[in-house]
């Protein structure tokens, strides 16, 4: 062997999953069926070193911000994180994160530890403990007052389980009441829970006029 020659390395066999997956064909132009991310998103996620943690954060964003629910939480099971949220009995909204059971739990633990997500646990029914996940939001300040964010799910506002809408349609039904008062007038307005905090504030100010 010549001095400047290097030994030929044995070629690695292609990963089986890569062979099955093939080459990604390309992104669709996002004219519809998309949701916005802040410009700082890539700066935020640049600090995330775990793929599982990143997938968990983005999946929660998809199912909160994706329904224009900023500051709310969504009930998502481990199975749904793995394989996609259920829409009805046998249909899933997406493919989930494709993480393993252990990967989902590790990703959730890291995302909560690093402050990206918040979790509310409903233990009112010990046989069916439910966990609700949301992105941790900064408080919104209006007229010098900080409005609360990441409010816990209100079980009293939900209909009985037998009347519950299929998963993924929550944003179209349940409504909350916001009451505004001035010296001459008292108004009560109905606001869909899926509205952004900015829209709720705008409606409050309009009702107070």
Residue ranges of alpha helices (H) inside the chain are 16-21, 41-45, 51-62, 78-83, 101-113, 197-208
Per-residue CA distances from 127 to 93, 164, 184 (Å) = 26, 19, 50
Which of 16-25, 90-99, 141-150, 157-166 shows the lowest per-residue confidence on average (mean pLDDT)?
Answer: 157-166
Whole-number Å distance between alpha carbons of 133 and 139: 17
Select from 75, 171, 165 the least CA-distant residue to 125: 75
Give the bridge partners for 180, in sequence order. 187
Per-residue model confidence (pLDDT) at position 8: 46
Query: What domains lie within the chain, and their CATH numbers?
Result: 37-139 (1.10.10)
Per-residue model confidence (pLDDT) at position 172: 35
Q: pTM of the predicted model, to two decimals? A: 0.63
The pLDDT tens digits for 68-80 are 999 899 999 999 9
Question: If you ran DSSP here, which 8-state letter would residue 166 be given?
Answer: P
Per-residue model confidence (pLDDT) at position 13: 53
């Amino acid at each position: 062997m010549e001095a400047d020659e290097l030994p030929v390395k044995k070629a690695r066999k292609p990963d089986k999953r890569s062979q099955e997956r093939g080459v990604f064909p390309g992104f669709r132009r996002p004219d519809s069926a998309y949701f916005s991310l802040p410009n700082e998103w890539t700066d935020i996620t640049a600090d995330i070193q775990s793929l599982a943690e990143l997938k968990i954060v983005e999946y929660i964003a998809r199912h909160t911000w994706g329904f224009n629910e900023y500051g709310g939480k969504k009930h998502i099971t481990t199975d749904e994180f793995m394989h996609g949220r259920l829409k009805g009995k046998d249909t899933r909204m997406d493919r989930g994160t494709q993480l393993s059971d252990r990967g989902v739990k590790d990703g959730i633990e890291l995302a909560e530890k690093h402050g990206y997500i918040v979790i509310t646990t409903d233990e009112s029914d010990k046989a069916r403990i439910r966990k609700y996940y949301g992105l941790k939001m900064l408080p919104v300040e209006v007229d010098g007052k900080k409005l609360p964010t990441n409010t816990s799910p209100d079980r009293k506002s939900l209909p009985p389980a037998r009347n519950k809408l299929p998963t993924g349609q929550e944003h179209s039904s349940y409504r909350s009441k916001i009451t505004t008062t001035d010296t001459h007038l008292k108004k009560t307005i109905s606001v869909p829970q899926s509205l952004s905090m900015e829209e709720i504030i705008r409606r409050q100010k309009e009702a107070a006029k």
